[in-house]
Amino acid sequence: MPAPAPHLPIVAIVGATATGKSDLALDLAESLDGEIVNADALQLYRGMDIGTAKVGAAERERVPHHLLDVLEVTQEASVSAYQREARAAITEIRARGHVPVVVGGSGLYVRALLDDIRFPPTDPEVRARLERRAENEGVASLRAELERTDPEAAAAIGAQDARRIVRALEVGEITGGSFRAFLPRREHLDPATLQIGLHRERENLRARVAVRVDRMVEQGLLDEVHALRAQGLDEGATARRAIGYEQALAVLDDAMTCREAIDATVAGTRRLVRKQDTWFRRDERVAWLPASSDDLLARALDLVAAHRAEVRA
């Protein structure tokens, strides 16, 4: 990430699915002479267009976009790789004298990009050995070991959270230090960062989700998934489990009717919306705006101007 540049903020548009983030990001980027950096994990995948509501060619002609279509559906998305590539994109955008506008609802990816977060190293052999111990000895045994070797990390991890206990012991063995040092803090890496959150009334958002899923089917989601299957979608650990894609695969396999798949996709998307809203609501740094406001762009620009003045002060 570049050194602080008060005249060139980093603006992130965050919030739940179907709130209208992409539209605001486009308008804001045009107004600020900016470029857009994707922070939606599923939009990293090439060919997953309809089911992720990815912006089309016309929008990309309006404003340059980064971190779209960079993975094949057979690949597994990596937060640490995303952090590296997205931070490099922001550096390049600023070097051109443009404003980076980050947009997406994948909370961990947003935080990995914007916050002072380091990802600890990993060793598959060490992790596999610890996982076997957890199965054979029980998680309580590993928990007791973590309390002895890294009490700070143990205090921050639930007693039955086997995955994180194993991870903490793995990091301790590899680095000789505390896993606690790698736990994320709510601290922007660059003070010129501004997060703007979009929210909608619950019933309005529920209705938008239903309309959105119906529209995806009308636009050819089943055809898209059929084509992606030929590219190895069934082998993709991340991509094939995406909401909408998993249900479409079931339709192609005659395991679901189209109506059942639509209903399941709507229900899954609404659950995702609740999780996203909870995630971003926990972050007190997010400045919230009503997505249905008639003067949304003007209000967003006011927030950017006020933030710039605050950083310069």
Do 233 and 245 contact (CB within 8 A), yes or no? yes
DSSP 96: T
Contact of 28 with 101, CB cutoff 8 Å = yes
Known binding residue 18? Answer is yes
Report whether 283 contacts 186 (CB < 8 A).
yes
Record the tokens describing residue 77, joined without a space.
Answer: 């998305």
Q: How many CB atoms lie under 10 A from the CB of residue 139?
A: 17
The CA-based diameter of the chain, rounded to the nearest angstrom, is 62
Q: Is 22 annotated among the ligand-binding residues? A: yes
CB 170 within 8 A of CB 130: yes
C-alpha R_g of the chain: 21
Q: Where are the beta strands (DSSP E) in the chain?
A: 10-15, 34-38, 65-66, 99-103, 193-199, 287-290
Of the candidates 38, 150, 165, which has an alpha carbon nearest to the alpha carbon of residue 103?
38
The answer to whether 19 is a known ligand-binding residue is yes
Phi, then psi, of 178 in degrees rounded to 5: -90, 140
What's the sign of the alpha-carbon dihedral 207, 210, 212, 215?
negative
| 15 in a known ligand binding site | yes
138 is in an annotated binding site: no
Burial of 267 (0-12, 13-18, 19+ CB in 10 A): middle
Q: Which of 195, 188, 186, 190 is nearest to 4 (CA)?
A: 190
Extract the annotated binding site for substrate: 17-22
Extract the annotated binding site for ATP: 15-22
Extract the annotated binding site: 15-22
